[in-house]
Chains A and B, each alone.
Chain A
Amino acid sequence: MLDETNSEAEAGVERADVEAVNAKANREVLYADRVKIHPKLVHGFWRNMKWVVMGVTLAVYYLTPWIRWDRGPHLPDQAVLIDFANRRFFFFFIEIWPQEFYFITGLLVLAALILFLMTALAGRVWCGYMCPQTVWTDLMIMIERLVEGDRARRIVLDKLPMSGAKLAKRVTKHALYLLVALLTGGAWVFYFGDAPTLLVDLFTGDAPIVAYTTIGILTATTYLLGGLAREQVCTYMCPWPRIQGAMIDDESLMVTYREYRGEPRGRYRKGESWEGRGDCIDCKQCVVVCPMGIDIRDGPQLECINCALCIDACNDVMGKIGRPGNLIAYDSFQGLENAAKGKTHRFRPIRPRTLIYAGLIAVVGLVMLTALMLRSELEVNVLRDRNPLFVRLADGGIRNGYTLRVLNKQHESIRVALSLDGLEGAELVLQGHEGATVDVPTDNLQSLRAFVSIPPETAQAAMAKGREALDFAIVAHDLGNDRSTYNRTTFRLPERR
């Protein structure tokens, strides 16, 4: 192993005697031992990208609950808050009631479509940069490197017998893993309660038991998945690598080894000719930097998360031996094929597949935006009685019963006048109310029993026409702001026999 640090003939190029974890030799047993991976630190454009994305995503995750947003008295001033106790979801200026859960559904649909589009364009960018598993694993590897040193030193440390110094390093490393895990779980609960209050409560022991349980579970999963299991999660647990095969096509970008340029590979001595051989000098730097421990030169594979660290590693080596970069690069199947034939290839981001995804994103986004703009602050849900469907009255008239749920989403109490539209001679009676005007307290839902009856003449006229149901609307008029909502429903008549 120590020959890893031996210099190649070229200045600064290291060679590694390493094999991909998914090499064929490792597949000859029924249950495979886990091959420990010691990813080496690499510098370069994609590594910097990963640092930036890691910083941004972690900052969003940890800081969002601490953003304040003034909503006036008696309302939480936390910008993003899932308030289970009062059944509200606050997101900056948007306030979502449980009845409007379809916004969340729409958001998830949108997220899935964006994921599809990203994958169709540039392969597994989600896996490589943004997935929490990737971000936290990267963070844990960084900690491991800080405590135990880079790849070579970690390999040496693994081989050393247990000693005080080794134990100290191990304990420090796992303690830091656990600290990160604890902070991860700790940040999660702030989305569900007022963050500053909850923080104090967590320390004084006054926080709800569910908060401690959540922190406990998330601490355990973060430590286990990010600290210990790492690449095993992507390879064996995650469904996305299996699905994404259907998401990419010949034009999708992915991290690939340009075999037409690299092969035949082999060691290179300074001064030798590059004629008749590939650019790959088989230094295996792409393997040692890989957090999944695979060899990108084996072609696209399920284990590859497309993090592009092998691109950085290879470009570094290519620079040192004076060959052109991007032997490993973001390229497409079509690009590889064309290049192998000597043709030039231009990346085509606009294709039917990406257009359809983009179109769907636009449609779903527009529908959601329209729904958000048009949603009313006074809402009436009309639930028609189904048992009995109708009641015949003494005078031969017909009565239907309804349950009205009047939602007042405004932050002040309102008076609502209810009336009927489109039902001749009909009468509206609200149980427990004189007249048809009701007070609905602020930020509240009022449930009312309503009885609508029509005179015998109306009923007989409709039934003579063969009608079994009449359409009409229950109109709710907000006396405060003079706005009305029409709520269409039906009035059931006796069935024809």
Chain B
Amino acid sequence: MADTNRTDQVTGYQTTGHEWDGIEELNRPLPKWWLYTFYACVLWSLVYFVLYPSWPLVSGYTQGVLGYSQRETVAAQLEAAQEAQKQWRDQIAAKDLSAIKADPDLFQFAVAGGAAAFGDNCAPCHGTGAQGFVGYPNLNDDVWLWGGSLEAIHTTLLYGIRAQNDDTRLNDMLAFGRDQILTRDQVKDVTEYVRALSNQDHDAAAAERGATVFADNCVACHNEGGIGSQELGAPNLTDAIWLYGGSREAIYESVYNGRMGVMPAWEDRLDAVTIKQLTVFVHSLGGGE
């Protein structure tokens, strides 16, 4: 970079004296006030350094003499938000579930809070849209293993299913094949019968044999005709909804090895108001009874 300014022949202007590979820069001066504005900004930042948190240090940062902290501001705002929600949360704590559903404003608050709590706690298994996965029920549909009324959902949330809780919902889908209660052929036959129950294509002869096996082993829980029982948490085998899949392989697997899905008891993890909000939210997803 040469440092000799000269007069440019074409324009008649002075150059700044800067030159890169033969390209020179004409001097079109900035106004002085621009320069002073720049100095003023530098001065401003110096004052800012003193007043506000600015420089990172090895551990921590310079605090600034005003003691400003965004973290404290957020904490204060959170506290204010909780204070603002208090009247609603108190009402939810005091009222029973059907009363919450009947009050449009309270219902809206409960659904909004429930949706947030669902995202934090339930979505890992049930999905962000509560659409479920294989082995984790879809909460949008009209099929409920343990009942879809507000009270039933509330109970399931509080105590869980096969959870470590004294009041937990409990049943046993035995491993009929693995524990040698049924032979492999019997499991195959009952699989065909279950296929027949839900109007899927099946081997009629095998299904007929399976009906006897079903009557001897399954009706205790799944009921006559396989319509299931919400008291026992036994799924209805005649509908179109399959928690573990309705294919031959999936049904065979269910009968042979049994199924033992677990839902935690949220009583020990969440406060009562949040569980009530979750109840109302899940009930509002479209399948609530």
Contact = CB atoms under 8 A, between A and B. Distances in A.
Interface of A: 24, 26-34, 229, 232, 235-236, 385-388, 391-396, 399, 401, 431-432, 449, 451, 456
Chain B interface mostly helix, strand, loop or mixed?
loop
A34 B129 contact: no
Contacts of A432: 104, 107
Given A387-B131, A391-B141, A236 B34 contact: yes
Given A34-B31, A432-B107, A393 B13 contact: no
Interface in B1-44: 12-14, 16, 27-35
A451 B33 CA distance: 65
Contact of B142 (A33, A232, A394): A394
6 contacts: A24-B12, A27-B27, A28-B29, A33-B32, A386-B129, A394-B236
Given A28-B14, A394-B239, A394-B241, A388 B138 contact: yes
Contact of B129 (A29, A30, A229, A388): A388
Contacts of B27: 27-30
Contacts of A32: 29-32
B35 A31 contact: yes
- Chain B interface size range: 20 to 34
Contacts of A401: 140, 286
Contact of B286 (A34, A387, A396, A399): A399
A399 B140 CA distance: 9
B203 to A, nearest CB: 22
A446 to B, nearest CB: 11
A29 B32 CA distance: 10
Contact of B240 (A24, A27, A386, A392): A392
Given A31-B30, A34-B33, A391 B104 contact: no
A26 B130 CA distance: 72
Contacts of A33: 32
B197 interface: no
Contacts of B131: 387-388, 391
Nearest to B102: A432
B121 to A, nearest CB: 17
Contacts of A431: 284
Contacts of A235: 31
Contacts of A28: 14, 27, 29
A29 B240 contact: no
B284 A449 contact: yes
Contacts of B34: 31, 236
B183 interface: no
A32 B28 CA distance: 9
Interface string B111-142: 00000000000000001111100000010111
A34 B32 contact: yes
Interface string B128-167: 1111000000101111000000000000000000000000
A31 B32 contact: yes
A236 B31 contact: yes
Nearest to A228: B33
Contacts of B107: 432
B241 A392 contact: yes
Contacts of A236: 30-31, 34
A29 B104 CA distance: 73
Nearest to A229: B33
A387 B32 contact: no
B240 A395 contact: yes
Given A232-B33, A387-B131, A393 B141 contact: yes
A463 to B, nearest CB: 13
Contacts of A395: 239-240
A236 to B, nearest CB: 6
B35 to A, nearest CB: 5
A392 B129 CA distance: 14
A418 to B, nearest CB: 17
A30 B16 contact: yes
A391 B33 CA distance: 67
A401 B284 CA distance: 11
B72 to A, nearest CB: 23
A431 B239 CA distance: 24
Contacts of B241: 392-394
Interface in B215-237: 236
Nearest to B285: A401
- Of B14, B34, B131, B286, most buried by chain A (CB within 10 Å of CB) is B286
A27 B138 contact: no
Contacts of B287: 391
Interface in B186-244: 236, 239-241
A30 B31 contact: no
A27 B143 CA distance: 83
A26 B240 CA distance: 87
Contacts of B128: 387
Contacts of A31: 29-32, 34-35
Nearest to B30: A31
Contacts of A388: 127, 129-131, 138, 140
Nearest to A35: B31
Nearest to A391: B140
Interface in B244-289: 284, 286-287
A32 B12 CA distance: 17
A26 B16 CA distance: 14
Contacts of A393: 141-143, 240-241
A24 B12 CA distance: 8
B30 A451 contact: no
A211 B129 CA distance: 44
Contacts of A26: 29
Contact of A392 (B127, B130, B141): B141
Contacts of A449: 284
Contacts of A396: 239-240
Contact of A391 (B13, B35, B138, B239): B138
B248 to A, nearest CB: 16
B29 A27 contact: yes
A32 B27 CA distance: 11
A30 B141 contact: no
A431 B284 CA distance: 8
A432 B287 CA distance: 13
- Of B35, B104, B128, B241, most buried by chain A (CB within 10 Å of CB) is B241
A426 B272 CA distance: 39
Contacts of B16: 30
Contacts of A27: 13-14, 27-29
Contacts of A392: 138, 141, 240-241
A160 to B, nearest CB: 24
Nearest to B17: A30
A305 B235 CA distance: 82
B156 to A, nearest CB: 18
Given A26-B29, A28-B14, A28-B27, 13 more contacts: A30-B29, A30-B30, A32-B29, A34-B33, A388-B127, A388-B131, A388-B138, A391-B131, A392-B138, A392-B241, A399-B141, A399-B286, A432-B107
